[in-house]
Amino acid sequence: MVDVHQTVTQDPRPLRAPSGPGAAFIATALLGAGGVAAVSSFVLDSGSAASGAAVLAYLLAAAIVFRALMRSYPHSQLGICNFVTLVRLVLVAALVSVVLAGGAISWTLFATACVALALDGVDGWAARRQGLSSAFGARFDMEVDSALGLVLAFNAAMTGPAAAIILGLPRYAFLIAGYFYPWLMRNLPDRFSRKAVCVLQLGALIALQAPILPDVLAAPLVGFALLALALSFGRDIIWLWRTQR
């Protein structure tokens, strides 16, 4: 789990010709497009139009990730860690198809989201195990986390409390604010409490996808998660403001 309001600096080096990790990423990403189509159509039953749009969204995201990899990835092999993160991106893109199809609550959607979150603990472990930790990998993992939260928030808002959409927006609001207030873009010190709030955020959003969750509990769950996010982001903003000079 990477903190969703942590900024990771990338090395803006020129693009390299695809080889080694670049070629491996292209091959895996193309296979992943088939995975998006399969999960969207046969697991989530989103329909051909929504599934096709999800595949296009995935390919666009994969192209952006590939560009970042060719600019800043420092290792000679892609590693299991980045393969796992790419699988997570496939699952997130498949979940996009549900939103594009009008939103739904189902056990297959819930299970898909659970797998996407569970794999979040695998890629970081694999990176450390193989000695392949990198700023690229951390950023890739973080953006997949953020995208998962955003997609689940949209679906939850379409099928339950409208306020659930706010749960998917803090990371992106933080980035936008950083363009106007550059001091917000500095790296933050590691805090266990921040990571715990990230898990709480995604856990609450996944719980909102469960058909068994009573409607009466949905709004309080959203409110609790929003309060935790507000306190966490507020603490970080205050720290950044106090240490900007």
Give residue 99's region: left, alpha or beta (phi > 0; psi -120 to 50).
Answer: alpha
CATH class of 21-242: mainly alpha
Instruction: Tell me the three state secondary structure of residue 104.
Output: coil
pTM of the model: 0.89
Query: For residue range 65-95, what is the model confidence (pLDDT) as tens digits?
Result: 999 999 999 999 999 999 999 999 999 999 9
Q: What is the mean pLDDT of residues 171-198?
A: 89
- Percent of the chain that is helix, strand, coil (3-state, to 5): 75, 0, 25
What's the pLDDT band for 19 if we cut at 50, 70, 90? low
Classify each residue of 24-51 as buried b or exposed e, where b means 16 or more C-beta atoms within 10 Å of its C-beta. bbeebbeebbebbbebbbebbbbbeebb
| Confidence class for position 10, pLDDT limits 50, 70, 90 | very low
% of residues, the chain, pLDDT over 70: 92
The per-residue pLDDT for 191 is 84
* pLDDT in the model for residue 5: 53
The domain spans of the chain are: 21-242
Whether the Cβ atoms of residue 218 and residue 208 lie closer than 8 Å to each other:
yes
Q: Is the pLDDT of residue 16 over 60?
A: no
At 189 the pLDDT is 83
Q: What is the CA radius of gyration of the chain?
A: 18
- C-alpha to C-alpha distances, 31 to 108, 148, 177, nearest whole angstrom: 22, 20, 36
Q: Residue 2 pLDDT > 50, yes or no? A: no
Average pLDDT of the chain to the nearest whole number: 91
Going by pLDDT thresholds of 50, 70 and 90, the confidence category of residue 193 is confident
